[in-house]
Amino acid sequence: MGSQEPTVARPPSSGGEALLPAVVISLILAVSAGIFAGSYSYAMADPTPRAVPIAVPEEPADGAPRVRAFLDALDRGLDSSIERRHVAGYQQAVDEIEDQSAFAVIRLGEGERLELDLAGAAGASVAEVLERAAPEAARSVGSEITVRDIKPLHPGDPRGLALFYMNLAVIVCGFLGAIQLGVHASRLRPWERIGVIACYSLLGGVCVVAAVDWLLGAVPLPFPQTWLILAGTMFTAGMVFTMFDTLFRRWALLPTWGLLMLLGNPSSGGAVSWPLLPSLFGTVGRWLPPGASVNAQHAAVYFPGHQHLQPYLVLAGWSALSLAVFLTGRRRRGR
């Protein structure tokens, strides 16, 4: 019998076919880094008032001109558009703040002195801008002004960023968890995958509440409402990636990152309140999962008697859309 030469394994080619995906990924990462930095800088680096709602109670005839003159001066000083929400009295103005429809109340107090009541909990960045600009505007019309915060943030979170970071944590961990399921548990059936995402979302929500409230005491969080909002946000983020994975497979991270991180988080209103965001971000942000989560959490913590249904509907809508796309895509692929 003739001898047979042994087969020698050859290393894979390192030519153009092997390098092309690496070059494409490198370019995508480089461009994404620039867009990531640019989107956050555009939204947060230099927040400028766009349209700030201020409640204006009806004043006696001799006081209204002074209030109007102050608001005109404040508008010019901020180079913005002060939205004047005229109400019947001071209590109704406070209700506007509680309903998160206004960020401040201006009225004429005793001794012809202007009084500006802010709501730091409604928007710390807006309150800071108004507090800084109000004295100069009052001096320009020959008046004195008293500024006070009638709805302050919790002392453990003086900048009002804790809710934003909580939201960021569950968003990132939500879609990272879905990515890892695709890598390490790819044989899960569709409803098993959905169930696992729901389970780690519920557990993640508890851990966030435990860290921020029970351990650090940064903000007193209303449990279980905060827990369910966090879990719902984490589940939505995981399902959004799962939807894009169904549609785009290996490139699913790109639209997920773009929707949730490049657009969603800067426009959420968590770090910079929506009246200070660019027009596009301020309009779109509340209809994306990060903005809906921040709004729901914000109302639950600081305005428990004046909550809105819209943020919950937004989260439910994104989850339902993602579920429908995922299950439909898997069914077609199974056929």
Q: What would the pLDDT profile of 114-135 be if each residue is shown by its tens digit?
A: 999 999 998 888 999 999 999 9
**pLDDT on residue 276:** 84
Q: What is the pLDDT of residue 1?
A: 47
State the average pLDDT for the chain: 88
pLDDT of residue 330: 79
Global confidence as pTM: 0.87
Residues of the chain with pLDDT under 50: 1, 62
| Separation of alpha carbons 111 and 86, rounded Å | 22
3-state SS, one letter per residue, for the chain: CCCCCCCCCCCCCCCHHHHHHHHHHHHHHHHHHHHHHHHHHHHHCCCCCCEEEEEEECCCCCCHHHHHHHHHHHHHHHCCEEEEEEECCHHHHHHHHHCCCCCEEEEECHHHCEEEEECCCCCHHHHHHHHHHHHHHHHHCCCCEEEEECCCCCCCCCCCCHHHHHHHHHHHHHHHHHHHHHHHCCCCCHHHHHHHHHHHHHHHHHHHHHHHHHHCCCCCCCCCHHHHHHHHHHHHHHHHHHHHHHHHHHHCHHHHHHHHHHHHCCCCCCCCCHHHCCHHHHHHHHHCHHHHHHHHHHHHHHCCCCCCCHHHHHHHHHHHHHHHHHHHHHHHHHC
pLDDT of residue 82: 86
Question: Is there a contact between 134 and 149 (Cβ–Cβ < 8 Å)?
Answer: no
What is the predicted pLDDT for the residue at 63?
A: 60
Structure tokens at 197: 């995402």
For residue 14, give both structure tokens: 């390192």
